[in-house]
Copies of this chain bind each other. A is one copy, B any other.
């Protein structure tokens, strides 16, 4: 118990790997460098292991509490200097997009298609075959 290695704390900023249980809180900024919010979760394709959508957590719009905004993962760029993500879409586009505050939707094919369509990216096939 008393012997300890250098664990996650020291090395994380320079490490390309992110543990799934530490995704929450990863910073997201606009292309201008303004803080936008953080990644609350990644929606992972169970079969391929790929992240298909990132669920962003944003707070304070119109004085209301935290809301969650799903975004196609391909719209996020990893910035290794900031150790966070940069989103190159307009903030108002994001604010007008699919979101929820209290009741998370069932992230099924229809919902995924709605998100992809809103952001103008190719739909993702979620069929489990």
Contacts and interface: CB of A to CB of B under 8 A. Distances in A.
- What's the number of copies of this chain in the assembled complex? 2
A52 interface: yes
Given A49-B50, A51-B49, A126-B15, A20 B4 contact: no
Contacts of A62: none
A127 B23 CA distance: 19
A18 B5 contact: no
Interface residues of A, number: 53
A60 to B, nearest CB: 20
A6 to B, nearest CB: 6
Given A15-B108, A23-B44, 14 more contacts: A1-B102, A6-B106, A7-B103, A8-B104, A15-B107, A16-B128, A17-B52, A17-B107, A19-B41, A19-B107, A20-B21, A21-B23, A46-B80, A50-B50
